[in-house]
Structure 1
Amino acid sequence: TGSNSSLFSGEYLTYLSGRYIEIKVYPLSFREFLEFKQYDTVNNLEQHYQQYIRSGSFPAVNLVEDENLIRTINQGLFDSIFSRDIISRGEIREIGGFYKVAKFVFDNIGNSLSTNKIANTLRSEGSKISHDTVDNYLMLMCDAYILYQCSRYDIRGKELLRTNGKYYIIDMGLRNQLIGYKSSNMGHDLENIVFLELIRRGYQVFVGKNGTAEIDFIAERSDTKMYIQVSLSVMDEQTKEREFKAFDKITDNYPKWLITMDRLDMSQNGILHKNVFDFLLEE
């Protein structure tokens, strides 16, 4: 239910092997956020969503209304998690280099990344950092439940790929605390929110590779599977064609969803178009 330096991802197995049931508790979903704030689930959803993205999803943040106090609480959460649970626990000495890696990943949520790409980019900017160091920093952030890695899955070959996965962040408020809020990130913010909602619902989530095409998410749970594309809008004809085309070479009959913020139903050829608020507010 919270950050604890002695109970990180995987470490509790040493203490509780064979004697535990793991129940992961995430920050507030969008639906829970609306209930927490006592907002209705019909009116002003776009406005509430922007508040959710800007302020973050930790309960403590959403118990207050004052913007300055919200920033103070988020800063306290950020300092506690990063200083104690990552930097101190990981015995990180090059703190400046660590924050450069964190900023790069936070600014590239939803983009395909590899440790080589991150290290090479930072070295081109003058940082002296190795691939192994980047890999260690990413692992520490994942162990602290700040980042979630979404591996690539080859749909044709039916195997996991080791390279160019994606990373998603547990809370936008923490991301904004480090790199600031950027309206240009709205598409990737939406993708991040959909990813978190899927893992809350118990799905294993992968990035799908289908030849040269890419599917944003393959979501699997028990015997069910879904293919999901996420886009801010597909009202532009070129964007619409690109998003639907990603499903073309998938030959099985599992559900295919396109999730956007558009209200107009664009469903076609067996592909279900869902408004993101309808998706997030489902029981």
Structure 2
Amino acid sequence: MDLQVLKEIIREQKAVFEAEGPEGLIEREALKKVSEFLKLPHVLVISGLRRSGKSTLLKQIHKNFYGEELVYYLNFEDERLIGFEAGDFNLLYETFIELFGKSQVFFFDEIQNVEGWELFVRRMYERGFKFIITGSNSSFLSRELGTRLTGRYVGLELYPFSFLEFLKFKGIPSPKEPLTEERGLIKGAFNEYLEKGGIPEYLRFENAELLKTLYENILYKDILVRYGLGDEKALRELALYLFSNYSSEINYSKLQKMLGLGSANTVKNYIGYLENSYMVFTIPKYDFSLKKQIYAPKKVYAIDSAFINLISFKFSRDRGRMLENLVFLELKRRNMELYYHRARKECDFIVTENEKPVEAIQVTMALTGNREREYGVLLEALEAYGLEKGLILTETEEFEETIRGKKIIVKPIWKWLLE
């Protein structure tokens, strides 16, 4: 690595990193978790979708927890660092000291771009240095963390804006018991959130080209190039299919035939690559038999409503499925272990703790003309797993009642999102 180029990059990035952000920049809810993690000596690893706010979160961590303290910062997404290798970390550390003096804290952005980075981090961690790092690929991060940093790190996944963060972004208050006018504003914002999603940069500029560029960068840089895939057409067709069939079951064998890929296992790998890049997520069917659970079809969900509206076929934008996808993402933010239930009927979500079912959730637009079906779905799941109460999330309805000895709680999705 050329030393003069490295110095130039470090100085430029430091100026940008420490500059005040644009007006209206909201503090992420993840800062609450960060405050607990920073009490530990462990490496803090923040992962998530590209452009979901990881770099901004690093700035907020710096501002809120380190103040005027000197920290070393480098973003490895800079194209001038393409030649940077693991062996250059010592030069980097020496250069930081030369330019700014001594510090015990490193902030590294998009660290997965440097193969072998974990060797330097482990060595310096053992010497008492603190690391806060981000990455956009869960597989590469977990593989490296698992082999070199086992027991030495804590992880935090950052998703696009939650509904609460979206309301802050729009300047709309979110009291626990909103009055009539406040409810009207919140409901209007909920409809907008369902359409536009929560990717911060897209919400700020509302330019579809930004989403298209982000989508292309993820497919090309994070998947095709990183994994050395030769069949770009199959990957693009698969991504289109998944974004058009969100909130639905998928079958690897059927997809293999449809895409003309070598085997169902190849399809599984491709979906895994999309998952690693935080584009889509899959959840398994819950079964007391692990073998049946493994072989049962999975359900797929998309990272954000804006991507669904950009990429999917227009006929696939079913509001009911959009609502289900939204609920799924919030459950992921709350770090829930998720499955779906299917026997005679299908219940959208089974929440587990230590693989034991603790909650059943069904999502529907409305119960009007639909109550018997939705109650039947939820009750089947409650009885199957010995649960005493279940939750039905709708757009507007709110009440509770007891059916067949089971408590049914019905609540508006927008209100549940604010809990």
Instruction: Report TM bin, short chain.
Output: 0.7 to 0.9
Q: What does 1:76-115 correspond to in 2, within 5 Å?
A: 76-115=213-252
| 1:27 alignment partner, SS class | coil
Number of the residue aligned with 2:309: 176
What is the rounded CA distance, in whole Å, between the counterparts of 2:322 and 2:306 in structure 1? 11
Letter in 2 for 1:34: L
Q: Is the 8 A contact 2:160 2:200 kept in 1?
A: yes
What is the rounded CA distance, in whole Å, between the counterparts of 1:110 and 1:150 in structure 2? 10
2:350 to 218, 231, 243: 218
1:162 partnered with 2:295: yes
Number of the residue aligned with 1:53: 194
Q: What does 1:4-43 correspond to in 2, within 5 Å?
A: 4=110, 5-6=112-113, 7=135, 8-9=137-138, 10-13=142-145, 14-41=147-174, 42-43=183-184
Q: Is the 8 A contact 2:400 2:410 kept in 1?
A: yes
What is the rounded CA distance, in whole Å, between the counterparts of 2:247 and 2:262 in structure 1? 23
1:62 to 203, 206, 212: 203
2:372 to 227, 230, 241: 241
1:45 is displaced (CA, Å) by 3.5
Q: Is the 8 A contact 1:109 1:188 kept in 2?
A: yes
What is the rounded CA distance, in whole Å, between the counterparts of 1:221 and 1:106 in structure 2? 29
Letter in 1 for 2:203: N
1:181 is displaced (CA, Å) by 5.3
What is the rounded CA distance, in whole Å, between the counterparts of 1:218 and 1:86 in structure 2? 31
| 2:155 alignment partner, SS class | coil
Distance 1:184 1:71, change over 3 A: closer
Letter in 1 for 2:204: L
Q: Deviations over 1:24-54 (max 9, x none)?
A: 1111111111111212442243432332233
Letter in 1 for 2:393: I
Distance 1:58 1:184, change over 3 A: closer
What is the rounded CA distance, in whole Å, between the counterparts of 1:240 and 1:102 in structure 2? 34
Distance 1:50 1:90, change over 3 A: farther
What is the rounded CA distance, in whole Å, between the counterparts of 2:319 and 2:247 in structure 1? 11
Larger Rg: 2
1:265 partnered with 2:399: yes
1:200 is displaced (CA, Å) by 1.2
What is the rounded CA distance, in whole Å, between the counterparts of 1:129 and 1:260 in structure 2? 42
Unaligned runs of 5+ in 1: none
Q: Deviations over 1:209-246 (max 9, x none)?
A: 3x32221101124688110111111111xx21111001
Letter in 2 for 1:60: E
Q: Is the 8 A contact 1:104 1:118 kept in 2?
A: no
Number of the residue aligned with 1:198: 331
Number of the residue aligned with 1:152: 285
What is the rounded CA distance, in whole Å, between the counterparts of 2:306 and 2:230 in structure 1? 26
Most deviating of 140-149 and 174-183: 174-183
Distance 1:75 1:132, change over 3 A: same
Letter in 2 for 1:203: M
Most deviating of 94-103 and 252-261: 252-261
What is the rounded CA distance, in whole Å, between the counterparts of 1:180 and 1:48 in structure 2? 25
| 1:22 alignment partner, SS class | strand
What is the rounded CA distance, in whole Å, between the counterparts of 2:203 and 2:353 in structure 1? 31
| 1:220 alignment partner, SS class | strand
Q: Deviations over 1:52-102 (max 9, x none)?
A: 2332311112223xx4xx212212221222211112112222111111111
Letter in 2 for 1:48: A
| 1:168 alignment partner, SS class | strand
Report the TM-score when normalising by structure 2.
Answer: 0.59
What is the rounded CA distance, in whole Å, between the counterparts of 1:146 and 1:49 in structure 2? 22
Q: Is the 8 A contact 2:246 2:321 kept in 1?
A: yes
| 1:225 alignment partner, SS class | strand
1:106 is displaced (CA, Å) by 1.0
Between structures 1 and 2, the one with greater helix share: 2
Distance 1:143 1:182, change over 3 A: same
Identity among equivalent pairs (%): 26
Unaligned runs of 5+ in 2: 1-45, 51-109, 114-134, 175-182
Count of matched residue positions in the alignment of Structure 1 and Structure 2: 270
